[in-house]
Structure 1
Amino acid sequence: MFKLACPSCGAEVVFRSATSAMAVCEYCRSTLLREGDAVRDAGKMAVVLEDYSPIRITTSGMYAGKAFGVVGRIQLRYEDGFWNEWYILFDDGRAGWLSDASGQYAITEDAGLADDAPSFVQTVPGGQYAWDGITYTASDLRTARCTAGEGELPFQVGPGWEARVVDYRQTVRFLTLDYSEEGKPRRYAGKAVSLGDLRCQLLREPEEILRSAGHLKGKAEALACPSCGASIEWRPAVATHLHCPACGAESDASSGTAEVMEASRREAALETTLKLGDEARIDGTVWTLIGLMKCRETGGSDEWVEYLLYSEGQGFLWLVESSAGWDKVKVLDVWPESVSASAVRHEGEAYTRMQAYGAQVVQVAGAFNWRVQVGDAVAVTDYRGGSATLSSERSPAELTWSLAQRVPASTIDGWFGRKGKLAAGAAVTALAGSGEAGADGERRQALRPLAWVFTVLILLINVPIAVFGGLYSFFLILIAVAVLWLPVYTNVLED
């Protein structure tokens, strides 16, 4: 441990690691570069955005049987959001990084230069990289800027410092190739984790967050839309990309005030079964609906609605409403393992490839923890197992896996306290513009079995008579069958 006085304000600055190259004075924000037994003031570092991560400098935990402590942080912002990289020191002197992105965590350690790595510009989501006998799949490609930092760090960074990184996954394994410096990328290897797995201590309490930021994590607040003035409910720093449900304007609220990013064309209000602000109690946990988006199959007519729910203790959860019913969807930290070109395995269960299709966002409203826009498109591949569906979603910068479990409409009713409003109809209520995916289509489809029964009865009774009655009798039978099937294909029975 190396201690000295900040040359700018005189406060004590501590270097806990012999390998740390810089530290940020917590009092005056000066960036101090270590040069032997002295430091040089390299200017001021921006204050980190209070993003309500429960982690802080001095947080401690256990990983792979070794105790560690958090000693520094850098904040990185990319086009669609931001994340934290926490610099950690182990008791045996080793160092590592704890990645913290919207409630998903991974710990990695320096594993040397990657002489065999593909170039950054040639890497795509889904691409493979083999190292140490393991084949990894590219999950995330980002070019990000350092916006702020605190504590001590192993290299010099500052506002404007650019990071180019590619994340890879293989089941629970996690690997990052860092292309930020010239030459070969540096490799960091580890695994995806949760704060529970790490047995973290000295995490920030909600009361501390309240004192330091003036907002309680996840507490609903209202902002005036900077485009039309309508009220937008949001969760400070939990979901910072907002879409006004009134005018569709897209805003960035990461600074605590909404700034217009893009004024969308005014369009018809998004009519959905569940509404922004609705609350559900799922397995004893309260979830709040903070965002929703309507999606359509690329080049097709199938539509569905995806609802984003947030819980302070559990993070994010999705509910999806489609013509097939309701699904509860969780983004996976531990990825499935590929078995063949048409099958994967997850938690001991085999899943077989069902279908592949494109999906596109056509309407969006509410708050999200990343930037979502009308027109965003992904390539989806579904795999079916015994009781659930695994889906991979691929965009130009990211590949994710999620697990969907079918939920009866009556269960959704119970979660949201709707007293049978969903179950009274069918599996799904009407989705605007979705044709027979709506309630009218479901009612008409419910008549189909009856139509078949009475068609068979008409033929059994009348065909023998028609044999002796001639062509005119057959013509009357055809008219009767057509009238019988008319309600199945039209709204003739509607008021």
Structure 2
Amino acid sequence: MAEGAAGPQRAYTAPCPGCGAPVEFRSAQSTHAVCPYCQSTVVRQGDTLARIGKMAELFDDFSPLQLFASGRYEGQGFTLIGRLQYRYEGGTWTEWIAALDDGRSGTLSEDNGTFVFSLPFELTREAPSAEQLRLGLATAFEGRSFTVTSVQEVMLVSAQGELPRLPALGQPFTVVELRGDGQDVLSLEYDTRPPGAWLGRAVRLDQLQLSGLRDGSVREDKARSFSCPHCGAAVTPLLADSKSITCASCGSLIDLSRGIGGELRHALQDEPVQPLIPLGATGSLQGGTWQVLGFQHRMGQAPGDDEQFGWSEYLLYNRMGGFSFLVDAEDGWSMVAPTTGAPRLASDGKAATYLGNRYALQYAYEATTTYVAGEFYWKVERGQTSFNRDFANGPALLSMEKSGKEITWSSGKRIDSAQVASAFGLDARKALFKRADAAPLSSAPRIGCGTIILILFLLLIVLIILSTCSGGTSSGYSGRSAGGSYGGYSSGGSHK
């Protein structure tokens, strides 16, 4: 044994029982490892290694992370020593095993560009069964308040490096995710009894002072090109783990959730909607450079209302910032991203509190995806539905989307239409970007008090006349001035 380079850890190396190559354990917490040469899965048994199977090949991804990248979290140095890759109904996500210098083992979880750093969380009482933790339930663990935001059946599909735990390969188990009204994320994994618990919070990669990252996040892999199952044209995904893509030639929506080479399902889209911002365009917004990967048009309808409204959403990607949504609605543009914490919803559903700020309910409605273009990290489908609630606090926006197995919250703020056009170099077409936000109240002509009194007097006379003529009661009217799910649909959450 030899002293490790970082902190008090001691490295342990033994020959792989499958091929004889050296397999190294850097952390005393690690019990399993995957041989980097023959993919044998091995377990430590004293001073020797025992082979217990062979690990499936890793699926490639566009992550900037890789083994042996290092950084700092809450004052502690850490090194990424392993990786677990999971699959669930809506896609895939990755957990990186982090060996901290003080001997602890944590995870840096990555799902669709969102990162959460978690540490083991000790429960003094055994967690309830997964069946008891229904979606939307408010509960408490160790004096902390949480809301159940995701209940998913998952399975381990691949692993790499050394690991403090190893769920059975290909065997489904339940993962329940709970979020606090701040930035806390509690994950319960029911592959063991009692279930394992991890508590984490959202982090940005630039906050972790990382070194040793991959050079690029987008691959140019011509082997990933395939023929459109409808028209035969070449289709090449930009990101390695995309779940849906549209054919640029015929507009067909293609399901990639089974991976390239699997059976490709497609759906024809005969009602194309042209995005204002071209797919692939890059622009600078809110201090970052974003690339437009996808576009979807959605329709909404409030319960009991016959009228529908529509809006558009652009999926934006930034290597260090992950994914965000640029929303184009009748009442203006907004830029939002999924939250880590779960805002606290009032008992009557008419308000929500997040990070100490109260948001008032604006709209509640059923949302349906009607048209898709480009590439998406989740399995997007025409006809995909969710129940949405939109809240606002001045220019600040908050949105909740509830689907069958998940509740997703997003937050952001309104932005000026001219800023959007300028960000993507479309100033010549900025008139097309103008929405209801084009004339702020502060710039409207001022109306004198005398004029207001006269208008109110005339309105009173009109109401009296109408009441006299009708001799009855008028039916109420409620309408929504503009569509817009402020958050877009984000399948998967952060999963730790």
Q: TM-score, structure 1 length as denominator?
A: 0.77
Q: Secondary structure at the match of 2:296?
A: strand
Q: Does 1:230 align with 2:233?
A: yes
Q: Secondary structure at the match of 1:23?
A: strand
- 2:117 & 2:290 partners in 1: Cα distance? 28
Question: Which residue is equivalent to 2:290?
Answer: 287
Equivalences, count: 422
Q: What displacement does 1:204 show? A: 2.0
Q: Relative to structure 1, is the Cα distance of residues 283 and 379 closer, same or farther in structure 2, using a 3 angstrom cutoff? A: closer
Question: Which residue is equivalent to 1:423?
Answer: 431
Q: What does residue range 225-264 of structure 1 map to in structure 2 within 5 Å?
A: 225-232=228-235, 234-237=237-240, 239-244=242-247, 246-252=250-256, 255=259, 257=260, 259-264=262-267
Q: What displacement does 1:369 show? A: 0.7
Q: What displacement does 1:244 show? A: 2.9
Q: Is 323-332 or 379-388 further displaced after alignment?
A: 323-332
Q: What does residue range 46-125 of structure 1 map to in structure 2 within 5 Å?
A: 46-112=56-122, 115=125, 117-125=127-135
- 2:132 & 2:247 partners in 1: Cα distance? 37
Q: What does residue range 52-201 of structure 1 map to in structure 2 within 5 Å?
A: 52-112=62-122, 115=125, 117-157=127-167, 159-170=169-180, 171-181=182-192, 183-201=193-211
Q: Relative to structure 1, is the Cα distance of residues 202 and 28 closer, same or farther in structure 2, using a 3 angstrom cutoff? A: same
Deviations 1:282-311 (A, max 9, x none): 356442222111111146411111111223
Q: Does 1:383 align with 2:391?
A: yes
- 1:258 & 1:278 partners in 2: Cα distance? 29
Q: What displacement does 1:316 show? A: 1.6
- 2:326 & 2:390 partners in 1: Cα distance? 16
Question: Which residue is equivalent to 1:433?
Answer: none
Q: Does 1:362 align with 2:381?
A: no
Q: Does 1:310 align with 2:317?
A: yes
Confirm or deny: 8 A CA contact 1:144 1:164 kept in the other structure: yes
- 1:194 & 1:56 partners in 2: Cα distance? 16
Q: Is 75-84 or 32-41 further displaced after alignment?
A: 32-41
Q: What does residue range 210-229 of structure 1 map to in structure 2 within 5 Å?
A: 215=221, 224-229=227-232
- 1:419 & 1:128 partners in 2: Cα distance? 47
Instruction: Decide which of 310, 319, 325 is 2:326's aligned counterpart.
Output: 319
Deviations 1:440-472 (A, max 9, x none): xxxxxxxxxxxxxxxx9xxx9xxxxxxxxxxxx
Q: Secondary structure at the match of 1:18?
A: coil
Confirm or deny: 8 A CA contact 2:206 2:320 kept in the other structure: no
- 1:379 & 1:354 partners in 2: Cα distance? 14
Q: TM-score, structure 2 length as denominator?
A: 0.77
- 2:60 & 2:433 partners in 1: Cα distance? 45
Confirm or deny: 8 A CA contact 1:73 1:86 kept in the other structure: yes
Which residue identity is paired with 2:398? L
Q: What displacement does 1:99 show? A: 1.1
- 2:261 & 2:320 partners in 1: Cα distance? 26
Q: Relative to structure 1, is the Cα distance of residues 191 and 328 closer, same or farther in structure 2, using a 3 angstrom cutoff? A: closer
Question: Which residue is equivalent to 2:277?
Answer: 274
Confirm or deny: 8 A CA contact 1:250 1:260 kept in the other structure: no
Q: What displacement does 1:107 show? A: 2.0
Confirm or deny: 8 A CA contact 1:22 1:152 kept in the other structure: yes
Q: Is 267-276 or 300-309 further displaced after alignment?
A: 267-276
Deviations 1:311-363 (A, max 9, x none): 33432221112222222222223444557754334445332222322211122
Q: Which runs of 5+ in 1 are unaligned?
A: 429-455, 461-495
Q: Secondary structure at the match of 2:419?
A: helix
Q: Which has the larger radius of gyration?
A: 1
Q: What displacement does 1:247 show? A: 4.3
- 1:185 & 1:424 partners in 2: Cα distance? 53
Q: Relative to structure 1, is the Cα distance of residues 377 and 240 closer, same or farther in structure 2, using a 3 angstrom cutoff? A: closer
- 1:36 & 1:228 partners in 2: Cα distance? 59
Deviations 1:402-428 (A, max 9, x none): 124222322222122223424268418
Percentage of pairs with the same residue: 32
Q: Which has the higher contact order (CA 8 A, sep 6+)?
A: 2
Q: Secondary structure at the match of 2:121?
A: strand
Q: Relative to structure 1, is the Cα distance of residues 392 and 424 closer, same or farther in structure 2, using a 3 angstrom cutoff? A: closer
Q: Secondary structure at the match of 1:423?
A: helix
Q: Is 102-111 or 231-240 further displaced after alignment?
A: 231-240
Q: What displacement does 1:367 show? A: 0.6
Confirm or deny: 8 A CA contact 1:361 1:377 kept in the other structure: yes
Q: Is 235-244 or 354-363 further displaced after alignment?
A: 235-244
- 1:394 & 1:410 partners in 2: Cα distance? 32
Q: Relative to structure 1, is the Cα distance of residues 105 and 17 closer, same or farther in structure 2, using a 3 angstrom cutoff? A: same
Question: Which residue is equivalent to 1:470?
Answer: none
